[in-house]
Amino acid sequence: MKFNYVIHDKCENVLGKLKEETVDLTFTSPPYFNAKEYSKYSTYEEYLNFIESVFVQIHRVMKEGRYVIINSSPYKLAENIINLYSYKGDVVLDPFLGSGTTANACLCRQRKIIGIEKEYSYYENFKNENTSLFDSSYIFLENFENYNLV
């Protein structure tokens, strides 16, 4: 993969379309159970089923022997973990991109990112803040079904 992708879509839509064994590291902070306005589940069981289905897909797209790291961390810690658990040019997945900490840490450490964010406000904010900052190092995608990343 030669580009850094930031995708506005539900992670389950994007993950299902990625090829097997394309990701070297997954570094993400999944949504909390009903802790945010956008995170509304009818029951805790529904939430757990969603998280499980996402991680089944993450496992499918991970290269054998590589790492999945769950975080809720500041930028410097994200950068250090990405540096320790991946190599330059590796593909890092963040299916819950949020504010984009993982994406920016990847770019600084010369990793490729597939960042997915379902909430348009987070996606648009990240896009507005980062388009000029890194001279358009990211490719921003909407309507993911029309694209092929690999």
The enclosing H or E element of 105 equals: helix 101-108
Q: What is the pLDDT of residue 150?
A: 57
Structure tokens at 133: 């900052």
CA 82, 103, 138, 136 dihedral sign is negative
Domains of the chain in start order, with CATH, are: 4-105+118-144 (3.40.50.150)
Alpha helix stretches (DSSP H) within 6-99 = 11-15, 44-61, 75-85
What pTM was estimated for this model as a whole?
A: 0.89
Burial class of 105 by CB neighbour count within 10 A (0 to 12, 13 to 18, 19+): buried
Q: What is the pLDDT of residue 109?
A: 95
Mean pLDDT, 10 residues at a time, the chain of 150 residues: 87 92 95 76 92 96 94 86 96 95 94 94 89 69 71
The whole-angstrom separation of Cα 94 and Cα 78 is 12
Q: If DSSP codes are grouped into helix, strand and coil, which group holds residue 83?
A: helix
